[in-house]
Chains A and B, each alone.
Chain A
Amino acid sequence: MNQPIFILINLRGGVDGLNFLVPYREAEYYRSRPGLAVPPPHAPGPAALDLDGFWGAHPALAPLLRLYERQELAFIQAVGWPGDSHSHFEAWEEIESGVAGGTIPTTGWLARLLQAKSATTRTPLRGVAFGEVLPKVLLGTLGVSAFRSLRDYRLRVGEKSGLALALGKIYEKHDTPFSRMGSQTLAGLKQVEQVSGSLDFKQTDYPKTEFGERLFAVEQLIRAGVGLEAVSLDLPGWDTHFGQGSTSGAFANLAAELASAITTFWNRLEDQRDRLCLLAMSEFGRRVAENGSGGTDHGQGGVMLVCGKGIRGGRVYGEWPGLAPERQVGPGDVRITTDYRQVLLELAHSLVPNGALPTLFPGYSPTKALGFCAG
């Protein structure tokens, strides 16, 4: 059965939403960022790419514009995690757990969603995270695996070795979480063996970075039909306290990497797009004003990017709170007008169209729908 596939891209570090999606009609934006502001559309030289007469995308996001124009991609602004500690770690812990304050569940929201879709599926590659550790968001359900790359996902033994069988005997004997991890790894190894090795990463248009290679691996897993339903992968490096740059530099490079990877992924999987839903989010946005180091400090309201066949794209969603000093909150942050859980909840409903959802976000009362999912 062709399950929908949800791809979660964690932009770790706190994306500067205001340079990602530029409110170029806001005078305050240019007043607060003499060194960092992205020039408005049609300014000479590199400038924001007009989206709707108020918002302009960072020029490095240019490849995404095609998707936006085809109405497959939408942005949400002034969105975020309502905590005010400005802590990367607390923010991610709560976001991945699906809360804001209060008791932190031991499981992740995406794991609870998978659990709700089917509590018994033991497909080892149902949920996949790339990296050294399993992120909290996928913690607490069967069938999730973490690995650094698809290429390394094999047991380094000879062809005739009995080690995998022996490990199977040992790990399948007991039903404990750790034993399950072992059994699942063995089952995953068998599946990955069947993923086509003929596709060559170097021949693709993906950025030749770890993130690009991982998105390519997602593509391969999707093509191999291993029963993938959810992916979590990171593009870190957005904590731009220092030397952020405007239309070029550290931030622009990351934005370009993100845009190029997503666009390539989307173009290459044309035949599978009906199943795909991709969300890129960060833990928070950054301060309205630039700091003294050519960078920006931790803020609140930020930006999300969502892409998929069922998405009413070509729009920027979310109530805009404005940037005037009296509209800012905390130490000079963009006010959050959309709780991050509202976005996740609407996505979750579109992924499980008929099913009843468990409490994905304990303590959250949904507000008026943004309506970016076609239903």
Chain B
Amino acid sequence: MQRRGFLKMAGLGMAGVLTAACDGTSHWKAWFGQGQGNLPMADWQGTEAERQAAHVLNRMTYGPRPGDVETLVRQGWKDFLENQLQPEAIPDFQASLLVRRISTLSLRAPELFDFPAEEILTELRQATLLRALYSERQLLEVMVEFWGDHFNIFAGKGDCAWLKVTDDRDVLRTHALGNFRRLLRAVATSPAMLVYLDGTANVRGNPNENYARELMELHTLGVNGGYSQTDVKELARALTGWQVANRFRRGTVSPDESRHDGSPVVVLGQEVTGTAEAELDRVLDILCTHPATAHFLAFKLCRRFVSDQPSAALVQQVATRFIQTGGEIKPVLRILFHSEEFQSAPPKFKRPYRFAVSALRALGARCDGRQPLQEQFRDMGQLPFHWPTPNGYPDVAEAWAAHVLPRWNFACDLAAGRIQGTRIETAGIVSAGEKFAETLLQRRLAPHEQEAFALVTSEAERIALLLCLPDFQFG
């Protein structure tokens, strides 16, 4: 890898220097919200095609690796998107080789319980990190993360540490780019979700509303989606009877009609009755075809991929596509990524997970993805499968911006080689002093930045400082 190529790939220059001036209590909105549409891009020194390529890589992948920007410029982003939408057709030797070594990943539910919870979780997180870092099927990985937040499961509850393995593999990965209705059905019968939201405790005569409520509030309609408290109660009854075996065939799901309340209930104005399976399919149909669901999903996708506060027009456009296609995820993503608003979207504040993974990719790091690296994500506040409440990790800048110190420490530890199992080749990166940083940022260093770089003397700290720049927190 030539250094010039390496430096260009990092896409560090996207945000430009942040100079928006605002004050008073409205500054968060003004700056992190709609007001950020005109961040200064004038300093951008690459071509328009390179800018666009870096933008696409920042959003559809976990950030550019050495050479990615040039490759994408040659390929064209539309082709790239179409490829990414067919992950099974993308050769993925490196990631599959790395992940294949992780033995617990392919185990089925009853066998998983032969291993300690801590080991199971470490391996699942390891696989997640290795795929984010090395898989060529990047959009798939990004979408698995998106659904993992949307259908959040805290691995610390009950048997969820084990059951999350099957949820990740058989539910989220299987359906991440498929159809929302089928994804939702898989989630509803995912043992991890049934345990996490007390679905298994929801039985005839003793309904438990937890899952029913979150199914409407967080998974489909949204809190203002037009359901009532009576709908929650009725839905809970319709969902009774789903059991997760805890002795023989531990961790497998089946409907238990003796615990299912098959008497008629009315959900969102429609009568539902029948077996556990029949009622589940009926209520999921009602929820999935409800316009509020299309709108809520569209909003969340736009917030993830476009900006913290996407325009109502874009959300509407994406929601319409969702309805037209019966919840097909690929066409929905296609219309989102082809939108003018996506193409011109200003840099979005990176959540800690994306910040760290994009840094590791930008520096071409070699990682084993194991415990010491995972501890860094815990410190930064975004360890996978560790968000306790069902709403998933926040997806807006203001939730994360005050927690900058752990990012700086990650940068210091990474650059100094203090993360066991993670290595970067500092010697190959740093040799040209100021020139290095300028190439990385795709703009000239401002005088105050030159002074700052002069204050750190070791190569490791120069790299750390680059990763700590405000520019690199956005992408």
Question: Chain A interface (Cβ within 8 Å of chain B)?
Answer: 12, 84-90, 106-107, 111-112, 115, 129, 131-134, 139-141, 144-148, 152-153, 155-157, 161-163, 165-167, 169-171, 173-179, 181-182, 185, 189, 236, 239, 241-242, 291-293, 295, 297-298, 330-331
State how many angstroms separate the Cβ of A357 from the closest Cβ of chain B.
Answer: 14
Partner of B402 from the list A107, A134, A167, A242 (CB cut-off 8 Å) is A134
A/B interface sample: 16 pairs, CB < 8 A: A12-B389, A88-B389, A88-B391, A132-B381, A132-B382, A141-B25, A144-B402, A162-B456, A163-B456, A166-B461, A169-B455, A170-B448, A178-B349, A185-B404, A291-B206, A331-B229
Are A107 and B28 in contact, with the CB atoms below 8 A?
A: yes
A89 to B404, CA, bound (A): 24
B432 at the interface (CB under 8 A from A): no
Chain B interface, number of residues (Cβ within 8 angstroms)? 72
In the complex the two chains form, is A189's CB within 8 Å of B405's CB?
A: yes
A182 to B446, CA, bound (A): 18
Contacts of B245 in A (CB 8 A): none
Listed stretches B197-205, B272-280, B358-366, B423-431; interface member: B197-205
- Closest Cβ neighbor of B197 among chain A residues: A241
Q: Say yes or no for B111: interface residue by CB 8 A criterion.
A: no
Of all chain A residues, the one with the shortest Cβ separation from B380 is A132
Q: Which of B66-74, B119-127, B163-171, B466-474 contacts A (4 or more CB under 8 A)?
A: B466-474
**C-alpha gap A189/B26 in the complex (Å):** 27
In the complex, per-residue mask of B154-172: 1 if CB is within 8 Å of any chain A CB, else 0: 0000000000000000000
Question: Which of A144, A156, A189 has the most B CB atoms < 10 Å from its CB?
Answer: A156
Nearest Cβ on chain A to B248's Cβ, whole angstroms: 22
**With contact pairs A133-B399, A181-B402 given, residues A176 and B381 touching in the complex (Cβ less than 8 Å):** no
> Does A176 lie within 8 Å of B25, measured CB to CB?
no
The reply to whether B18 and A157 form a contact with Cβ atoms under 8 Å apart is no
Asked if B409 is at the interface (CB within 8 A of a chain A CB), the reply is: yes
Residues of B within 8 A of A12 (CB): 389
Partner among B28, B206, B213, B217 whose Cβ is within 8 Å of the Cβ of A140 = B28
Taking a contact as CB atoms under 8 Å apart, the answer to whether A155 and B28 are in contact is no
State whether A176 and B402 are in contact (beta carbons under 8 Å apart), knowing that A236-B388, A295-B208, A330-B229 are contacts in the complex: no
Q: Give which listed residue, A89, A139, A239, contacts B398 with CB less than 8 A.
A: A139
Q: Which of A107, A153, A157 contacts B461 (CB 8 A)?
A: A157
Q: Which of chain B's residues has its CB closest to A135's CB? A: B399
Q: B469: which A residues are within 8 A, CB to CB?
A: 170
Q: A86-B229, A162-B457 are in contact. Are A179 and B403 (CB under 8 A)?
A: no
CB < 8 Å: which of B18, B201, B218, B461 contacts A293? B201
**Contact among B208, B233, B398, B448 for A241, CB-based, below 8 A:** B208
Q: Contacts A179-B470, A292-B207; is A86 near B232 (CB within 8 Å)?
A: yes
**Separation of A145 and B402 alpha carbons in the complex (Å):** 6
A58 to chain B, nearest CB (A): 23
Known A112-B25, A169-B451, A170-B470; judge A178-B401 contact (CB<8 A).
yes
How far, in Å, is B193 (CB) from chain A's closest CB?
A: 14
Q: Which of B440-475 contact A (CB under 8 A)?
A: 446, 448-449, 451-453, 455-457, 461, 464-465, 468-470, 473
Name B382-412 residues within 8 Å CB distance of A: 382, 388-389, 391, 394, 397-406, 408-409, 412
Contact A178 B399, CB 8 Å, known A140-B28, A148-B379, A162-B461: no
With a cutoff of 8 Å between Cβ atoms, the chain A residues found around residue B229 in the complex are 84-86, 330-331
